[in-house]
Amino acid sequence: MAGLTTALILLPLAGALFVSVARQNSARAVALGFNVLTAILAITLWRNFDTTAGGLQMVERHVWIPAIGAEYLVGVDGLSLLLVLLTSLIFPFAFLAQRMTRGACALMLVMQAALYGTFTAQNFVLWFLFYEMSLIPAFLLIKIWGGEKRDRAATKFFVYTFLGSVAMLLSFLGIFFAKGTFDFAALADLGKHGLLTGNVAWFAFAGIFLGLAVKVPLFPFHTWLPDAYETAPTGVSMVLTGVLSKMGVYGFVRLLLPLFPNEIRIVAPWLLALAVCSIVFASLAAWAQSDLKRMVAYLSINHLGYCMLGLFAITATTVRPAQEMQAALSGVFMQIFNHGITAAALFYYVGLLEQRRGLRGLGDFGGLMQRTPLLCGWMSVAMFSSLGLPGLNGFIGEFLIFKGSFAVAASFTAVAVIGLLVTAIVFLRAMQALFSGPLAESASTFPDLQWNEKWIVVPVTMLMFAVGIAPQFVFNIFNTTVVQMTRLFALTTLG
Amino acid sequence: MSSWIVTYLWLIPAVPLAASLVILMLANSRRTASAALAIFGQVVALTMAVAAFLPTLQTPGYRAFHNFTWFTFGEQTLRIGWVIDPLAAAMLVMITLVGLCIFVFSIGYMAKDKNFTRFFAYLSFFSAAMLGVVIANSLLLLFVCWELVGLASYLLIGFWIHKPSAAAAAKKAFITTRIGDIGFFLGILWLYGRSGTLLFYDHGNGCLENAGLLLVGASATFIALLIFCGAAGKSGQFPLHVWLPDAMEGPTPVSALIHAATMVAAGVFLVARVYPLFSLGAIDGVTPSLTVVVWIGVVTALMAALIALAQADIKRILAYSTVSQLGLMMVSLGVGGVAAGIMHLLAHGFFKALLFLGSGSVIHGCHEEQDIRNMGGLRRLMPVTFLTYAIGMMTLSGVPLFFSGAWTKEEILHATAHWPKSSVPYYLMLAGVVLTALYMTRQMIYVFFGDKRAASEHAHESPRVMTMPLIVLAVCAIVFSIALTPAWPWLHGYLSGEPAHFEIGQLIQPMLFLSLALVAGGIGLGVLFYRKAGATDPLAQAQPAIFRFLENKMWLDEFYARTVLAFAHFAARFSDVMDRYFWDSLVRALAGVGQLFGILSSHFDERGINSGVDGATTGARGLGRFIAARHSGQIQTYLRAAGVGALALLILYAWLA
Amino acid sequence: MTPTLTIFLILSAALFCIGLLAALSRRHAIFILIGIDLMLAAANVNFVAFWRFSPEPAQPTGVIVAIFSIAIAAAEAAVGLALVIAVYRHYRTTNVDKLNQLKG
Quick check: B634 contacting C, CB < 8 Å? yes
Give B636's contacts in chain C (Cβ within 8 Å): 23-24, 32, 96
Give A327's contacts in chain B (Cβ within 8 Å): 73-74, 76
The residues in C 1-40 lying below 8 A from B, measured between CB atoms, are: 20, 23-24, 32
Sign of CA dihedral A460, A464, A466, A472: positive
Question: Which stretch of DSSP H or E encloses residue A44?
Answer: helix A27-48
Whether chain B lies against chain C with 3 or more Cβ pairs closer than 8 A is: yes
Q: For residue B171, what is the nearest residue in chain A, using CA coordinates?
A: A428
Cβ <8 Å between B72 and A475:
yes
Of C24, C99, C102, the CB nearest to B640: C24
Rounded to an integer, what distance in angstroms lies between the CA atom of residue B90 and that of residue B348? 13
Cβ <8 Å between B635 and C99:
yes
b/e code A220-245 from CB counts within 10 Å (16+ = b): bbbbbbbbbbbbbbbbbbbbbbbbbb
Q: For residue B114, what is the nearest residue in chain A, using CA coordinates?
A: A370
Spatial CB neighbours of B54, under 8 Å, sequence gap ≥ 6: none
Consecutive sets of 10 residues in chain A, 495 residues long: mean pLDDT of each? 82 89 85 90 89 83 83 89 92 87 89 92 89 89 85 83 87 84 82 75 88 86 86 89 90 87 86 91 88 90 92 81 87 92 92 85 83 87 91 90 88 90 90 84 80 87 91 90 84 48
Q: Note whether A311 and A274 are within 8 A (CB).
A: no
Alpha-carbon dihedral of residues A461, A465, A470, A471, nearest 10 degrees? 60
Bond preceding residue B510 cis, omega within 30 of 0: no
Alpha-carbon gap: C101 to the closest alpha carbon of chain B (Å):
6
Q: Dihedrals φ, ψ of A57, to 5°?
A: -125, 160
Quick check: B592 contacting C, CB < 8 Å? no
> Which has the closest alpha carbon to A460: A468, A475, B71?
A468
Q: Note whether A162 and A139 are within 8 A (CB).
A: no
Q: Which chains touch C (3 or more CB pairs under 8 A)?
A: B
Rounded to an integer, what distance in angstroms lies between the CA atom of residue A388 and that of residue A303? 10
The residues in C 36-95 lying below 8 A from B, measured between CB atoms, are: none
pLDDT at residue B535 greater than cutoff 70: no
Rounded to an integer, what distance in angstroms lies between the CA atom of residue B305 and that of residue B307? 6
Spatial CB neighbours of C82, under 8 Å, sequence gap ≥ 6: none
Q: Mean per-residue pLDDT for C18-47?
A: 89
Rounded to an integer, what distance in angstroms lies between the CA atom of residue A311 and that of residue A103? 38
CA terminus-to-terminus distance, chain A: 37
pLDDT at residue B407 greater than cutoff 50: yes
SS3 A446: coil
SS3 A291: strand
pLDDT at C90 (0 to 100): 87
> Which has the closest alpha carbon to A5: A116, A163, A115, A148?
A116
Give C80's contacts in chain B (Cβ within 8 Å): none
- Per-residue pLDDT band for B604 (boundaries 50, 70, 90) equals confident
Quick check: B636 contacting C, CB < 8 Å? yes
Spatial CB neighbours of B62, under 8 Å, sequence gap ≥ 6: B55, B56, B84, B85, B86
Quick check: B76 contacting C, CB < 8 Å? no
Rounded to an integer, what distance in angstroms lies between the CA atom of residue B466 and that of residue B356? 12
pLDDT tens-place string over residues B130-179:
999 999 999 999 999 999 999 999 998 888 888 888 888 888 889 899 99
SS3 A31: helix
pLDDT at residue B503 greater than cutoff 70: no
Rounded to an integer, what distance in angstroms lies between the CA atom of residue B371 and that of residue B446? 10
pLDDT tens-place string over residues B83-135:
888 888 888 988 998 888 888 888 888 888 888 888 899 999 999 999 999 99
> Which has the closest alpha carbon to B294: B415, B437, B143, B180?
B415
Q: For residue C100, what is the nearest residue in chain B, using CA coordinates?
A: B633
pLDDT at C44 (0 to 100): 92
Cβ <8 Å between C24 and B632:
no
Alpha-carbon gap: C47 to the closest alpha carbon of chain B (Å):
19
Beta bridge partners of C95: C28
Cα–Cα distances in angstroms (integers) from residue C71 to residues A306, C41, C45, in the given order: 101, 12, 15
Of C23, C96, C104, the CB nearest to B634: C96
pLDDT at residue B1 greater than cutoff 50: no
pLDDT tens-place string over residues B536-594:
777 777 777 777 877 777 778 788 878 888 888 888 888 888 888 887 788 778 778 87
Alpha-carbon gap: B643 to the closest alpha carbon of chain C (Å):
8
Cβ <8 Å between B179 and A421:
yes
Of A399, A413, A479, the CB nearest to B74: A479
Rounded to an integer, what distance in angstroms lies between the CA atom of residue A454 and that of residue B530? 60
Alpha-carbon gap: C56 to the closest alpha carbon of chain B (Å):
26
Q: For residue B74, what is the nearest residue in chain A, using CA coordinates?
A: A479
Of A287, A403, A432, the CB nearest to B192: A403
Rounded to an integer, what distance in angstroms lies between the CA atom of residue B647 and that of residue B653? 10
Alpha-carbon dihedral of residues B366, B372, B374, B375, nearest 10 degrees? 50
What value does the mean pLDDT of chain A take? 87
> Which has the closest alpha carbon to B132: B202, B201, B83, B203?
B83
SS3 B273: helix
pLDDT at A308 (0 to 100): 92
> Which has the closest alpha carbon to B80: B167, B181, B197, B160?
B197
Whether chain B lies against chain A with 3 or more Cβ pairs closer than 8 A is: yes
Chain A to chain B Cβ contacts (< 8 Å): 157
Of B628, B633, B643, the CB nearest to C101: B633
Spatial CB neighbours of A417, under 8 Å, sequence gap ≥ 6: A402, B182, B185, B186
pLDDT at A116 (0 to 100): 93
Spatial CB neighbours of A156, under 8 Å, sequence gap ≥ 6: A223, A224, A227, A228, B587, B591
pLDDT tens-place string over residues B269-294:
999 988 888 888 777 778 888 889 99
Q: For residue B634, what is the nearest residue in chain C, using CA coordinates?
A: C100
What value does the mean pLDDT of chain B take? 84
Question: Which stretch of DSSP H or E encloses residue A75?
Answer: strand A70-76
pLDDT at A494 (0 to 100): 44
Cβ <8 Å between B185 and A410:
no
Which domains does chain C show, CATH number per domain?
5-95 (1.10.287.3510)
Of C20, C23, C100, the CB nearest to B633: C100
pLDDT at A495 (0 to 100): 40
Q: For residue B162, what is the nearest residue in chain A, using CA coordinates?
A: A437
- Per-residue pLDDT band for B534 (boundaries 50, 70, 90) equals low
Cβ <8 Å between B636 and C32:
yes
Rounded to an integer, what distance in angstroms lies between the CA atom of residue C18 and that of residue C32? 11
Of B175, B186, B576, the CB nearest to A428: B175
Burial class (CB in 10 A: 0-12, 13-18, 19+), B431: middle
Whether chain A lies against chain C with 3 or more Cβ pairs closer than 8 A is: no
> Which has the closest alpha carbon to A308: A339, A282, A276?
A276
Rounded to an integer, what distance in angstroms lies between the CA atom of residue B122 and that of residue B21? 9
Of the two residues C14 and A263, the one the predictor is more confident about is C14
* Percentage of residues in chain B having pLDDT higher than 70: 96
pLDDT tens-place string over residues B21-30:
998 888 778 8
Sequential DSSP letters for A46-61: HHH--TTS-S-EEEEE
What value does the mean pLDDT of chain C take? 87
pTM for this one?
0.82
Amino acid present at B349: G
Sign of CA dihedral B373, B378, B382, B386: positive
Q: Is B66 left (phi over 0), alpha (psi -120 to 50) or beta?
A: beta
Cβ <8 Å between B151 and A389:
yes
Quick check: B630 contacting C, CB < 8 Å? no
pLDDT tens-place string over residues B204-220:
888 888 888 888 888 88
pLDDT at B277 (0 to 100): 87
Model ipTM? 0.90
Question: Which stretch of DSSP H or E encloses residue B221?
Answer: helix B220-234
Rounded to an integer, what distance in angstroms lies between the CA atom of residue B168 and that of residue B172? 6
Spatial CB neighbours of A367, under 8 Å, sequence gap ≥ 6: A435, A436, A437, A438, A439, A440, A443, B161, B162
Cα–Cα distances in angstroms (integers) from residue A371 to residues A232, A375, A449, B4, C34, in the given order: 28, 9, 11, 47, 110
pLDDT at B124 (0 to 100): 92
